[in-house]
Amino acid sequence: MSRYIVSETQELPRHGEVKQDTYGCYYCHICGKSFKKVLAHVWQKHNISAISYKKLFGLYTSKGLLCPESRELAQQRNAENKESVIYNNLIKQGIKTRFKKGCKGRTKNQVSAQLKSALRKRNPLLKGDNKP
């Protein structure tokens, strides 16, 4: 398997949809090529940040888009550095993102198209006005 580009597709993924190739790598919504680390590709080639890309194409903002091989490597590195990762990332820097009293949280207009679609599939009784 190639280091970067794995394969190309004729049909781009739709808004709110993620598409994977046979290796489990994700396709770029912009150029239609699959990559082991599609968000790194989007930043380097299309100059779009990961969070902006996910919002632009209606994807979960909290879900990573790594192929299984890259995900396993990242998990392995996190396990090796568990103490520093937990302390620095979750405890120390997590103070900024913790829920604050009186905060509304996410409203329905802040939810991605991918999440809305998943919720509609889980509960078909949801009103039609929730469609993206």
| Amino acid 109: pLDDT | 77
Tell the residue number behind the tokens 């790598």, with chain if given. Answer: 25
| Amino acid 12: pLDDT | 84
| Amino acid 7: pLDDT | 63
Contact between 62 and 114 under an 8 Å Cβ cutoff? The reply is: no
**Alpha-carbon span 23 to 26, nearest angstrom:** 9
| Amino acid 84: pLDDT | 79
| Amino acid 1: pLDDT | 45
Its pTM surpasses 0.75? no
| Amino acid 130: pLDDT | 46
Task: Locate all alpha helices (DSSP H) within 7-112, ordered by sequence.
Answer: 38-46, 50-56, 68-80, 82-85
pLDDT in tens, the chain (132 residues): 444 555 676 688 888 889 998 888 999 999 989 899 999 999 999 999 999 999 999 999 888 898 999 999 989 988 888 887 777 777 777 777 777 788 777 777 778 888 888 888 888 776 655 444
| Amino acid 104: pLDDT | 76
**Alpha-carbon span 132 to 126, nearest angstrom:** 13
Q: How many CA atoms lie within 13 A of 128 on its CB side?
A: 0
How many Cβ atoms sit within 10 Å of the Cβ of residue 17?
Answer: 15
